[in-house]
A and B are shown apart, each in its own frame.
Chain A
Amino acid sequence: MAKLNIVIGGVGGQGVITMGKMLIRAVKPEYKAVASETHGLAQRGGAVNVHVRIGDVYAPLVPLGRADYVIGLEAIEGLRNIRYACDSCVLVLNNKVQRPAIPKVALPTIDELINTAKNYVKVVVLVNAEDLALKAGNVKAANTVIIGTMLAVGKLRDFVDEEVLVNSLNDVNRKALYLGMENYDIVFSK
């Protein structure tokens, strides 16, 4: 039976857990779905990730090298989880580099991050998720924008029921979802 493994990386407070919840809520009824979340102290502005597994699955975590999608709600956090990417992985990066709150930190640029990613994934997609979310009405809908992009690129569409997903969203998020479906750049593909 089919499986879909997704690892979502982000900064605590960005809506990483909510994004996992939105995904599994919309999974087609014939599939099992489990999201494994980061809570507590680690959440406070730190690097967090959520593992979402759909299909014939029992275990909570994605195996290394087996994620069909790696998502960076913040671009550095996408790269932090690149070890989970499989050969045919779609990497979706929000076009945003957020400075960790530590002294004297050297930040990579988005282009440097994309260049590194090329060695490990099949497709790199860049989305201006915050801008699109603002356009939809709320900057916090950036995670929904990214789900829209995931529906447009890769296998997610086979596993979730788009109608269920759309019906679970309010107006702002619905708009964000559609904006994400239509506005993204495939910056690398092999």
Chain B
Amino acid sequence: MGRLLLLGNESIARGALEAGLAVAAGYPGTPSTEVIETLMKEKDRYVEWSVNEKVAFETAYGAAISGAYSLVSMKHVGLNVASDALMSSSYTGVEGAMVIFSAGDPSMWSSQNEQDNRYYGLMALIPVFEPFDPQSAHDLTVKAFEFSTKVKHPVLLVSNTRVNHSRTWVDVGELKPPVWGKLVKKPQVYSLVPAIARGNREKQLKRWELITEGVKEFNTIEGDGRKLIVTAGVGYAYVKELVEGDVRILRLGVSVPLNREQVLKAVEGVEEILVVEELEPIVETQLKNILFDEGIRVKVHGKDYVPRVGELTFEKVGKAVSKFLGLPFVEVKEPEVKIPDRPPALCPGCPHRSSFVDLKRGVVKGGLNTTFFSGDIGCYSLGVLPPFNSQDSLTEMGSSLGIANGIFRATNTVPVAVIGDSTFFHNGLSGLANAVYNNLPVLVVVLDNRVTAMTGQNPSPSREIEIEDVAKGLGVEFVKAFDPFNVKESIDVISEATRWVKENKKPAVVVAKRACALDVLDKVDGELPIAVVDEKKCTGCSICYDFFTCPAITVGKDKKAVIDQVLCIGCGACVPVCPYNAISLKGDVPKGWDEVWLS
């Protein structure tokens, strides 16, 4: 019908709309976020950011068991949060269509691990659709909805960064009106008490047979030769560009499960096989299973040739393919260029920078000279970097509170739990309830910047629900908020809370309230003020650029501070940081400036 310039994730959203999507829910996480962001523009469908992936999953599932077409979106680790619901969904199946979109992050550009979620397909008995570029992402999404409704079973759509975040021209079709559900009550299917679950287990395996038969249509056999390359996902894009001549290629649009009959057809007359897939040997293992069963003794290369670590590249696939085809491979020698690292940094104006500075001084003033900063997932994870060094652990969403408990029980050291507002609602509530229930002496610092900032300022429940009220409601006796840009007040609140925790052996919650600087800039119009350095007063002590490290402050002559005119947003956070009062603000603030920062 037309051609649009789309990101892989936008292609998936477009495919869902063409399939008749009615209900979509998700939790933001790179590289998945743009699917829900794109769907949200459609007013005739119901689309929401849920508080976490489990709730999002159940929302889409609830819609699908009433006959609607639904989608749930999350990053790979989000599916861990939703995995309880995932396993059950496979037992019951669905009435309409349910597509579970999970975006993986090989090489961990923005994640804590690079788990391969295709394993969930094998574990839960849910087929895994795996696109190789934005066009196939679009096409497979449409087909995934059709297949789900045909087999009455949820399906997984798994793709990784280089599909999700590639942009290209995509041929698209017509949008279809949403397929809504109607109230159907089938407790004999959807109420998984043991007697019903046992029956469902049998039916699940029957559906799995149907699915295994049905997946053939999403796979193709291309070319011919005595050598076979089996490939799925982005692996196909590399193979397609690298391989010429007498090679047979089995391209899998669905990588779980493999279809025995199709595999046998592909391996007919083949002398050697190479499996090219990102991360884990999911296809390789299934393939070897089938060949072993059939007594076919043909050499299968997979993870012995293609690395298991990190995303695929031309170099990795090129080396494997050359070795497999017996062709020479010239390795490119990487030049050694000495340049400074540039890790990601908190933005100019980020309230977290000020919070970290206040926090360190506040806990010491409160008498806690040694502590453990139990951290969490968000922009503030960057507090792990120098000069802050204020995230001694951060492992998954909500980890700060649970780990703080373990640290205290094992060491008797009073810990500090640092968690963002969106993460607090995602998976922090149960940890805080546990801290109250089990009398954990912990200083909980909620960094409330009013948005889910890291994924692009997505909305956060903190806009609708006051964190202080939640903490009080859960039984926390000491609850106070502070403005991190107000250094004196912040240190006072943090030190008072610290002393209270030590004396009362119970949790205290302090909330740093100031909006994400990027969100502020989006919401105001007009010229910004700018920080200026009084050269006469500046002593070159380096506190502002070496210990506060705002990217807008750089070093000039005689180590004096210089403000970068392009980067500075005039937030004023650096003003109280200078011990010599050498920094001040120049210019007027735009209309509504203070209100937006403190909203």
Complex: how many Å from CA A40 to CA B550?
Answer: 20
Q: Could you say which of B331-339, B475-483, B587-595 contacts chain A?
A: B331-339
Q: Is B382 an interface residue (CB 8 A)?
A: yes
User: Which parts of B370-391 form the interface with A (CB within 8 Å)?
Assistant: 379, 381-382, 385-387
Complex: how many Å from CA A59 to CA B231?
Answer: 14
Q: Mark A29-50, 1 if CB is under 8 A from B, else 0.
A: 0001111111111111111000
Can you spell out 17 A-B residue pairs with CB atoms less than 8 angstroms apart? A21-B167, A24-B5, A25-B5, A34-B133, A40-B31, A40-B33, A40-B110, A40-B455, A41-B454, A58-B133, A59-B237, A61-B162, A99-B545, A100-B342, A101-B549, A103-B546, A107-B340
A57, B241: Cβ atoms closer than 8 Å: yes
**Secondary structure at chain A's binding surface: helix, strand, loop or mixed?**
loop
Complex: how many Å from CA A20 to CA B162?
Answer: 15
A residues sitting closer than 8 Å to B (CB atoms) are 11-13, 20-21, 24-25, 32-47, 57-66, 76-77, 79-80, 82-83, 98-108, 113, 116, 119-120, 130, 139
Whole-angstrom distance from the CB of A118 to the nearest CB of chain B?
12
B386, A103: Cβ atoms closer than 8 Å: yes
A82, B166: Cβ atoms closer than 8 Å: no
Known contacts A42-B344, A100-B345; 17 additional CB pairs below 8 A are: A21-B5, A32-B168, A40-B455, A45-B551, A46-B343, A58-B240, A59-B314, A60-B133, A60-B166, A61-B313, A64-B314, A98-B551, A102-B340, A102-B549, A105-B340, A107-B340, A108-B340
Known A-B contacts A21-B5, A32-B168, A63-B314; A120 and B335 likewise in contact (beta carbons under 8 Å): yes
List of 6 A-B pairs having minimum Cβ-Cβ separation, nearest first: A40-B30, A46-B344, A40-B110, A45-B345, A101-B345, A63-B314
Beta-carbon nearest neighbor of B550 in chain A? A101
Q: Mark B318-342, 1 if CB is under 8 A from A, else 0.
A: 1000000000000010110111111
Complex: how many Å from CA A65 to CA B334?
Answer: 8
Q: Is B288 an interface residue (CB 8 A)?
A: no
A65, B332: Cβ atoms closer than 8 Å: yes
Beta-carbon nearest neighbor of A86 in chain B? B332
Beta-carbon nearest neighbor of A14 in chain B? B566
Known A-B contacts A32-B168, A35-B167, A64-B314; A41 and B238 likewise in contact (beta carbons under 8 Å): no
B165, A83: Cβ atoms closer than 8 Å: no
Complex: how many Å from CA A119 to CA B228?
Answer: 41
A99, B555: Cβ atoms closer than 8 Å: yes
User: Which parts of B542-564 form the interface with A (CB within 8 Å)?
Assistant: 545-547, 549-551, 554-555, 564
Complex: how many Å from CA A12 to CA B162?
Answer: 18
A36, B166: Cβ atoms closer than 8 Å: yes
Whole-angstrom distance from the CB of B516 to the nearest CB of chain A?
11
A79, B379: Cβ atoms closer than 8 Å: no
User: Which parts of B197-238 form the interface with A (CB within 8 Å)?
Assistant: 234, 236-238
Complex: how many Å from CA A43 to CA B162?
Answer: 15
Known A-B contacts A32-B168, A37-B167, A41-B30; A63 and B555 likewise in contact (beta carbons under 8 Å): no
Complex: how many Å from CA A79 to CA B336?
Answer: 10
Whole-angstrom distance from the CB of B384 to the nearest CB of chain A?
11
Q: Is B437 an interface residue (CB 8 A)?
A: no
Whole-angstrom distance from the CB of B447 to the nearest CB of chain A?
15
A101, B168: Cβ atoms closer than 8 Å: no
Q: Mark B82-108, 1 if CB is under 8 A from A, else 0.
A: 000000000000000000000000000
Known A-B contacts A33-B169, A77-B342, A100-B341; A40 and B454 likewise in contact (beta carbons under 8 Å): yes
**Neighbouring A residues of B533 by C-beta, 8 Å:** none
B385, A102: Cβ atoms closer than 8 Å: yes
Beta-carbon nearest neighbor of A61 in chain B? B313
A12, B318: Cβ atoms closer than 8 Å: no
Known A-B contacts A36-B166, A46-B345; A64 and B31 likewise in contact (beta carbons under 8 Å): no
Complex: how many Å from CA A11 to CA B339?
Answer: 14
A83, B342: Cβ atoms closer than 8 Å: no
Whole-angstrom distance from the CB of A31 to the nearest CB of chain B?
10
Complex: how many Å from CA A181 to CA B382?
Answer: 39
Whole-angstrom distance from the CB of A58 to the nearest CB of chain B?
4
Complex: how many Å from CA A44 to CA B352?
Answer: 13
**Neighbouring A residues of B168 by C-beta, 8 Å:** 24, 32-35
Complex: how many Å from CA A62 to CA B134?
Answer: 17
Q: Is B140 an interface residue (CB 8 A)?
A: no
A83, B334: Cβ atoms closer than 8 Å: yes
A76, B340: Cβ atoms closer than 8 Å: yes
A130, B566: Cβ atoms closer than 8 Å: yes
User: Which parts of B24-56 form the interface with A (CB within 8 Å)?
Assistant: 30-31, 33
Whole-angstrom distance from the CB of A172 to the nearest CB of chain B?
16
Complex: how many Å from CA A130 to CA B124?
Answer: 54
Q: Is B109 an interface residue (CB 8 A)?
A: yes
Whole-angstrom distance from the CB of A105 to the nearest CB of chain B?
5
**Neighbouring A residues of B555 by C-beta, 8 Å:** 99
B337, A79: Cβ atoms closer than 8 Å: yes
Known A-B contacts A58-B240, A79-B339, A83-B335; A64 and B315 likewise in contact (beta carbons under 8 Å): yes
Q: Is B443 an interface residue (CB 8 A)?
A: no
Q: From the candidates A21, A39, A46, A106, name the one contacting B340 in the complex (CB within 8 A).
A: A106
Complex: how many Å from CA A116 to CA B166?
Answer: 31
Complex: how many Å from CA A103 to CA B543?
Answer: 10
Most interface-central of B5, B168, B338, B564 (chain A CB within 10 A): B168
Q: Mark B380-420, 1 if CB is under 8 A from A, else 0.
A: 01100111000000000000000000000000000000000
B332, A83: Cβ atoms closer than 8 Å: yes
Q: Is B347 an interface residue (CB 8 A)?
A: yes
Beta-carbon nearest neighbor of B110 in chain A? A40
**Neighbouring A residues of B387 by C-beta, 8 Å:** 103
A99, B554: Cβ atoms closer than 8 Å: yes
Whole-angstrom distance from the CB of B423 to the nearest CB of chain A?
14
Beta-carbon nearest neighbor of A74 in chain B? B342
**Neighbouring A residues of B554 by C-beta, 8 Å:** 99
Whole-angstrom distance from the CB of A182 to the nearest CB of chain B?
23
Q: Mark B67-84, 1 if CB is under 8 A from A, else 0.
A: 000000000000000000
Q: Is B368 an interface residue (CB 8 A)?
A: no
Complex: how many Å from CA A139 to CA B110?
Answer: 28
Whole-angstrom distance from the CB of A134 to the nearest CB of chain B?
9
Beta-carbon nearest neighbor of A108 in chain B? B339
A37, B166: Cβ atoms closer than 8 Å: yes
Whole-angstrom distance from the CB of B160 to the nearest CB of chain A?
10
Q: Is B151 an interface residue (CB 8 A)?
A: no
Complex: how many Å from CA A79 to CA B346?
Answer: 23
B339, A61: Cβ atoms closer than 8 Å: no
Complex: how many Å from CA A57 to CA B382?
Answer: 36
Most interface-central of B7, B334, B337 (chain A CB within 10 A): B337
Whole-angstrom distance from the CB of B332 to the nearest CB of chain A?
4
B343, A102: Cβ atoms closer than 8 Å: yes
Complex: how many Å from CA A120 to CA B337?
Answer: 10
Known A-B contacts A13-B347, A45-B346, A64-B315; A82 and B337 likewise in contact (beta carbons under 8 Å): yes
**Neighbouring A residues of B339 by C-beta, 8 Å:** 76, 79-80, 108, 113
Q: Mark B224-262, 1 if CB is under 8 A from A, else 0.
A: 000000000010111011000000000000000000000
Beta-carbon nearest neighbor of B29 in chain A? A40
